[in-house]
Amino acid sequence: MAFLEVKKLNKYFPIGEDKRFHALKNIDLSFEKGELVSIIGESGSGKSTLMNILGGLDSSFTGDVFVDEENIGQYEEKQMVQYHKEKIGFVFQSFNLVSHLSILDNVTLAMTLSNVDKETRIERSIAILDQLGLQEQHKKKPNQLSGGQKQRVAIARALVNDPAIIIADEPTGALDSETSEQVLDIIQQIAESGKLVILVTHSERVAERSSRIVTIADGEIINDKKMGSLDKVDNTFILRPLDKKQTNKNLSIFSAIRMALLNMKEKLGRNVLIALGGSIGIMSIVLMLSLGQGVNDYLTETMNENVNPLIIETKMTEDTKTKDARKERVDKEEEGKNAAVSNGPSLPINIGGNGEAKGGFEGPPGTQNELAFDKNNIEELQNIEYVKTIIEGFTSFSFSKNAVEYEDENYTYMNFGTVSPDMTPSNIIFGELPEINEVMITEGLATSIADEADKMIGKEINVKTEMGEEILEGTYTISGIYTPGDAVGPAGIFESVFMTMETFKALNEEAGKKTESNVVYITSEAEGFTKDIKEEVKELGYAGSSSDILTEIFSQLLAIFTYILTGVAGISLLVSAIMILTVLYISVIERTQEIGVMKAIGGRKKDIRRIFVSESFLIGFFSGILGVGIAYGLSFIGNLFIESIFDATVFNMTPMFALAGVFVSIIISVLAGLLPANKAAKLDPVEALRRD
């Protein structure tokens, strides 16, 4: 069997719903290695169609095409890709060199698509270029070469993978007569080296240089004439055999990224503008997240400055009370069952009450005064790991009935409580912490009574505080004036009166009431255990301090506003995605011929897609880096400005935000690039090569 054999080849082109144009009609041909065959015919005769089929660019035909005893008409895509890489080399009339690549990169392109190692592909390419007289042209771009030099580069690209077949489409059509002869000499020597060379031409002068002329007209072979032995030419070009060929693989991701970078460099100005546009959205999102984090950190830091880091304030909740009541009911029922077994039937026991707070509005979060701790609760909290001590306390809140009386004048206050371990001498601007039968009042309450707060030290006042449905009152000496600083919570927001737990117990005893604690202060063994204790307290069903609750509420509201602002800023990402999609679509149109060339020399659909996705990845990466950089600069300037006015910083751009910004930018860009990449991958190589 001949090296290349065509049997009963027919090709049809659809020209309507039910009509087809018969372009090739029962073609039978066979070729051997070492032949220089010219296929000639008028325009529209079918010679280019035949060339495309023999070159594996068009697989929609009937009949058989055998190459080295394999039927390429039955090839899968993977096999056809290998056929392009190993068996076929194309030389085009219009050269089809990639304009933004150097001469050396144009030649190595075929091996780059085969993932041949860098050293091998450069060595091979330089050897071929030097043989073709292009020793000094390696680093030049195609537009710096003459027509003859460009065609030599195209020949070098066709030869670099050492294919068995060279198909040249009008290789001298764009050259003058002298340069044409030089190119034909090279092509003849390629055939003499043992390769099958097929020229597609309409030039009789070119055909005369062949060893065989096949004439085609209206899709039929009308003449197949052997011309005899080729005339020897001057050995200005001696084709040296290449070293042992490396096994062809596929385009690597790193090679795809390099090719994408080279293309982006060619359109540098445009790509910089795209990256800048994309960076605006990333910058906005990172800034909003940094602002939210910064404000939240400021709020938390302010809170921590006004509390003892070893103290955890804890309150009862409805869930905890219900749990305790349920446990007590179960214990009583068990006792009843045991009694029934030993003493006979007994009446059912009903434990009344559900621990619900009575009355209407109970004040801000964490200020309820109806839920009291019992002995079991205290023991449960004491058993938490790393708890050092437990201090019981009391706090209540009233909008109208809490008041202090001084010199027959009443002054209302809202928050009443016992002294907590959180209160330190730094919170007392005048006087000192109260002892037995003494109270401490807030600065605002003191100044409402006297012009100057310090004048109230040592004065006696009558304190009235609402306890359920009763009003308890007693006369006490003011020991100190308290300032909450920037603390959050009732004691930091509302006017307050504080006394010791011992004084509070005495107040209750005078009224014949039992003293109950509704707040517990837990002391941690070390600051590092405080967070774990808080989590354990929460798991047991207890509530944190009013400050913690309010801080959590503020943090949640802040998070909501941050997400809303981030979402608004994210709209610009959609605009960026549309911009990237549009630009990459334009890039596909601009590079249609380049895509056709890559497919002709062995580029898979996956390779084409990978190159364009790599380009969108790089755009997203550079946009993200630029956006994060701008956000960092703006947050730095913003913090300097705000710190100079308010002595605080409100932008906190964490590494996580920076990484998230770059990641989101890449994802958005890659998603936007998928459609253009798929469009490029699906281009018909025949149609792509025809595009000017």
Per-residue pLDDT tens over the stretch 51-71: 999 999 988 999 999 999 999
Q: How confident is residue 50, by pLDDT bands cut at 50, 70 and 90? A: very high
Q: Is residue 101 a contact partner of residue 126, using CB atoms and an 8 Å limit?
A: no
Residue 294, token pair as written in the block: 């910064």
- Where does the pLDDT of residue 238 fall: very low under 50, low under 70, confident under 90, or very high at 90 and above? low
pLDDT score at 361: 41
Whether 492 shows a pLDDT value over 70: the answer reads no
User: Is residue 314 within 8 Å of 522, Cβ to Cβ?
Assistant: yes
Residue 487 has pLDDT above 60, yes or no: no
Give the 3-state secondary structure of residue 468. Answer: coil
Mean pLDDT of 487-514: 83
pLDDT band at 242 (very low <50, low <70, confident <90, very high): low
The end-to-end CA distance of the chain, in Å, is 39
Q: What is the pLDDT of residue 546?
A: 66
Location of structure tokens 């000017």? 692
* Three-state secondary-structure class, residue 547: helix
pLDDT tens digits, one per residue of 81-90: 889 988 999 9
User: How do residues 382-395 score in pLDDT, each as one tens digit?
Assistant: 999 999 999 999 98
Is pLDDT at 206 greater than 90 in this prediction? no
Percentage with pLDDT > 70 across the chain: 86
User: Which pLDDT does position 362 carry in this prediction?
Assistant: 45
Question: Is residue 263 pLDDT above 50, yes or no?
Answer: yes
Which two tokens mark 665? 């930018």
β-sheet bridge partners, residue 430: 481
Among 542, 521, 532, which residue's Cα sits nearest to residue 307?
A: 521
SS3 552: helix
Strand partners, 175: none
Phi, psi of 82 (to 5 degrees): -65, -35
Residue 447: name the closest of 430, 466, 432 by CA.
Answer: 430
**Span 412-451, pLDDT tens digits:** 999 999 998 878 777 899 999 999 999 999 999 999 999 8
Q: Which two tokens stand for residue 171?
A: 């290789």
pLDDT over 50 (residue 519): yes
* Top-tier CATH class for 4-250: alpha beta
Q: Is the pLDDT of residue 243 over 80?
A: no
At residue 563 the predicted structure's pLDDT band, cuts being 50, 70 and 90, is confident
pLDDT at 545 over 60: yes
Instruction: Give mean pLDDT, residues 510-526.
Output: 90
- Report the alpha-carbon distance of residue 429 to residue 441 in Å, rounded: 11
Q: pLDDT per residue over 331-349, tens digit each?
A: 555 555 554 444 444 323 2
Residue type, 558: L
Residue linked to tokens 């630029």: 626
The count of other CB atoms within 10 Å of the CB of residue 332 is 14
Cα–Cα distance for residue pair 166/161, rounded to 1 Å: 11
For 546, residues 6+ apart whose C-beta sits below 8 A from its C-beta are 313, 315, 364, 365, 366, 367, 489, 490, 491
The whole-number pLDDT of residue 291 equals 87
Its pTM stands at 0.69
Judged against a pLDDT cut of 90, whether residue 197 lies above it is answered with yes
3-state DSSP call for residue 442? strand
**CA 165 to mean position of chain CA atoms:** 46
Lowest-confidence segment of 75-89, 240-254, 346-360, 391-405 by average pLDDT: 346-360
Report which listed range, 226-240, 436-450, 573-587, is most confident: 436-450
Would you place residue 327 in the very low, low, confident or very high pLDDT band (cuts 50, 70, 90)?
low
605-646 and 655-681 helices cross at what angle (nearest 10)? 150
Residues forming a β-bridge with 71? 66
Flag whether pLDDT at 366 surpasses 80: no
The residue with greater pLDDT, 526 or 332, is 526
Highest mean pLDDT among 405-409, 491-495, 527-531: 405-409
Sheet-wide strand order for 70-71: 20-31, 4-14, 62-67, 70-71
Query: What's residue 181's pLDDT?
Result: 87
CA 88 vs CA 8, 36, 91, 102, 198: distances in Å: 22, 15, 10, 23, 11
Closest by Cα among 479, 444, 476 to 461: 476
Q: How many CA atoms lie within 13 A of 11 on its CB side?
A: 23
What pLDDT does residue 234 have? 58
Q: Would you kindly state where each structural domain of the chain is located, as residue ranges?
A: 4-250, 268-304+553-690, 311-333+360-545
Give CA 335 to chain center in angstroms.
62
Pull the structure tokens for residue 331.
């214990």
- As a whole number, mean pLDDT of residues 232-237 equals 56
Backbone φ and ψ of 479, nearest 5°: -100, -25
Determine whether 247 is exposed, middle or buried from the number of CB atoms within 10 Å of its CB (0-12, 13-18, 19+): exposed
Least confident of 183-187, 303-307, 361-365, 624-628: 361-365
| pLDDT value at 21 more than 50 | yes
Q: What is the mean pLDDT of residues 518-540?
A: 89
Q: What is the pLDDT of residue 458?
A: 94
Neighbour count for residue 227 (Cβ, 10 Å): 15
Q: Which among 469, 548, 552, 467 has a CA at the least distance from the CA of 507?
A: 467
> pLDDT tens digits for 266-303?
888 888 988 888 898 889 888 888 888 888 888 777 76
Residue 324's pLDDT is 62
Q: What mean pLDDT value characterizes the chain?
A: 84
Tell me: pLDDT of 26 over 90: yes
Instruction: Label the pairing between strands 36-40 and 212-217.
Output: parallel
Mean pLDDT of 486-512: 82
Pairing of strands 428-431, 220-226: unpaired
